[in-house]
Amino acid sequence: MRTVQPVEFKKAFMETMEPAKSMLLKKWHGRLGEFTALMRTYFQRIAPKLQLEIYNGDYYTLDAVFYETKDTKHFDQTTTYVHYIAIALEHENNIVGAYTEMNKLQLFNSPLKVLITYASKSEHDAYLEEYSEMIKSADVFEDFSTHKKQLVVFGDEVDGQVSWYFYQFVDGKFSEI
């Protein structure tokens, strides 16, 4: 069973997004649907770097799932039903809508849950505190810090530069990695 640590996801994400900065900037302030579609193309490039496959269309309402193998014994080969979700990923352009996405991620049994959203650096602490409360409330088996990792990725554009910030949930709070 392939599991991905938050720092591994960060490395693959940055390797993929660094060369894409100019394209991201072109779409950054455009229509939200176009930006999400662009991000999905980059998610597809991240999967092989993590030695995983990806289903990049809504999978039980998740924006993307990274997986190792499909269940072809019980389902035909034209559909995607995975044995397990290695990474459950939600991408939300609107930071206010990210609360819904963080809540949704808690419903899935996955070794890594990733929320990608957008906020200025000065807003990170406030949002991370709220996300921490949501995660603690959902952690009925008290294994989110040990077995089920949580990663929040904030994107920000300042003066024509794209920056990414990564926060891992450990011991009841988020820490930057």
Over residues 139-147, mean pLDDT: 78
Cβ contact 71:83 at 8 Å = yes
Q: What angle do CA 84, 87, 92 make, to 5 degrees?
A: 130
Tens of pLDDT, residues 1-54 = 899 999 999 999 999 999 999 999 988 887 777 898 899 999 999 999 999 999
- State the DSSP H helix or E strand holding residue 175, giving kind and residue range, or none if neither: strand 173-176
Distance CA 126, CA 124 (A): 6
Give yes or no for residue 149 having a pLDDT over 90.
Answer: yes
The answer to whether residue 1 sits within a structural domain is no
For residue 12, with 0-12 CB atoms within 10 Å meaning exposed, 13-18 middle and 19 or more buried, which class applies? buried
Tally of domains within the chain = 1
pLDDT value, residue 83 = 93
Beta bridge partners of 167: 152, 176
Structural domain range at position 138: 6-176
Give start and end residues of each alpha helix (H) in the chain. Answer: 6-17, 21-27, 32-49, 98-105, 124-138
The answer to whether residue 118 sits within a structural domain is yes
SS3 per residue for 119-152: CCHHHHHHHHHHHHHHHHHHCCCCCCCCCCEEEE
Largest CA distance in the chain: 52
pLDDT value, residue 147 = 73
79 pLDDT band, cuts 50/70/90, is confident
67 pLDDT band, cuts 50/70/90, is very high
Tens of pLDDT, residues 102-138 = 999 999 999 999 999 999 999 999 999 999 999 999 9
The answer to whether residue 68 sits within a structural domain is yes
pLDDT value, residue 62 = 95
End-to-end CA distance of the chain: 24
For the entire predicted model, the pTM comes to 0.95
Compute the half-sphere exposure of residue 43: CA atoms within 13 Å on the CB side of its CA. Answer: 24
Please name the residues in contact with 115: beta carbons below 8 A apart, sequence gap of 6 or more: 89, 90, 92, 98, 101, 102, 105, 131, 150, 151, 152, 153
